[in-house]
């Protein structure tokens, strides 16, 4: 159902350096690159994540209540993605652990303040 999600950024090269490393742990690579943004994915028929300078020319801002959830294959990958995001300057929004009785998840904000979650089933 979802084709892609884009997040606003104030600095494409800075965001690219962050997401190149974080999304590589999930098997994603750059799929598209332009003057105003970049997107990453695991295949052109799968959902992708992009960062872009806002089209309207206004400053990028974080949407209240907006969160992007990234799928990981196992608990170790969830933990590694969260740790790397923090090491690269992201902010902790919730340490890795069980959530809702059915998945293992961790929460962080990227360098522009966008909220992301990485998760896998509890049984992974």
Domain boundaries, the chain: 4-54+66-121
pLDDT exceeds cutoff 90 at 12 = yes
Residue 124 has pLDDT above 80, yes or no: no
Distance CA 26, CA 102 (A): 20
d(CA 41, CA 64): 25
- For the segment 82-97, the average pLDDT, to the nearest whole number, is 98
Rounded to an integer, what distance in angstroms lies between the CA atom of residue 49 and that of residue 38?
9
pLDDT surpasses 90 at 1 = no
- Assign domain 4-54+66-121 to its CATH superfamily: 2,3-Dihydroxybiphenyl 1,2-Dioxygenase, domain 1 (3.10.180.10)
d(CA 118, CA 106) in angstroms, rounded, equals: 6
**What is the C-alpha to C-alpha distance for residues 51 and 119, in angstroms, rounded to an integer?**
21
pLDDT recorded at residue 51: 96
> Quick one: pLDDT band at residue 64, thresholds 50, 70, 90?
confident
Rounded to an integer, what distance in angstroms lies between the CA atom of residue 111 and that of residue 88? 8
């Amino acid at each position: 159902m979802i084709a892609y999600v884009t997040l606003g950024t104030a600095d494409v090269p800075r965001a690219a350096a962050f997401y190149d490393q974080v999304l590589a742990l999930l098997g994603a690579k750059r799929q598209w690159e332009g003057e105003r943004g970049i997107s990453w994915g695991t295949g052109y028929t799968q959902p992708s994540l992009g960062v872009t300078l806002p089209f309207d020319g206004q400053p990028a801002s974080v949407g209240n209540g907006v969160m992007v959830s990234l799928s990981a294959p196992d608990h170790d990958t969830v933990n590694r993605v969260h740790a790397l995001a923090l090491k690269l300057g992201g902010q902790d929004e919730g340490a890795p652990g069980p959530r809702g009785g059915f998945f293992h998840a961790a929460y962080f904000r990227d360098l522009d303040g966008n909220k992301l979650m990485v998760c896998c089933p509890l049984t992974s």
